[in-house]
Amino acid sequence: MGVRLFVVILSNVYKNDCNRLLKDVQHDEYPRSICGIFKSARDGLIRADAILGSNLLITEKARKVQTFDHRVLQDAHDIMAATFRYHHDDGGQLRLDEDPEHQRLRYLRTWTNWLNKQLEELVHYPQFVRSTVECIVFPNTVMGYMAENRLCDVLLTHFSAGDWMFQVGYLRTYPPARA
């Protein structure tokens, strides 16, 4: 699966969010992370559709996605990346007998493991699955924009990010999802 990439801006999202190496690792992993977010939601939708025997049109459209514009999931990714940093950042400190390359690899491993674990949990939330797939299937439309807002609202709530995220950061506040 491919992602059309544009410039991704690295910024501070909360007080003391200044571990440049960790941000660089997340930035370098961004294409795989974005694809992983969509793939987990798409696979969850396909499973649910198969269990229910619904044969939904959106499921068929999601199956056919080969490439997509990353920007529709960028805020969702950035919320997850900031959450990881907030809870797991060691301030850039090297461990004993660790060189910078091993530190980079450690950051990469812990970030990808954490992200994968979160995605395994989030696919059990129908609103996460539906919103993520709708972001990709209906990009740059009213439905797509509504899905982006719902997805970010789900993530902000899931990670209790309202308590710490908007102190410094550029992330916007998302309106609560409407039923």
For the chain, give every domain's residue range.
13-167
pLDDT, mean of residues 61-77 = 96
Distance CA 104, CA 90 (A): 12
Q: In this structure, are residues 33 and 115 in contact, taking their beta carbons and an 8 Å threshold?
A: yes
pLDDT, mean of residues 89-96 = 93
Query: Residues 107-162: pLDDT tens digits?
Result: 999 999 999 999 999 999 999 999 999 999 999 999 999 999 999 999 999 998 87
State residue 14's pLDDT score: 81
Tokens of 11: 């910024």
pLDDT, mean of residues 22-40 = 97
Q: What's the chain's average pLDDT?
A: 89
State residue 102's pLDDT score: 97
User: Is the pLDDT assigned to residue 99 strictly greater than 70?
Assistant: yes
Tokens of 44: 């969850």
Distance CA 150, CA 144 (A): 10
pTM: 0.88
State residue 2's pLDDT score: 53
User: Is the pLDDT assigned to residue 167 strictly greater than 60?
Assistant: no
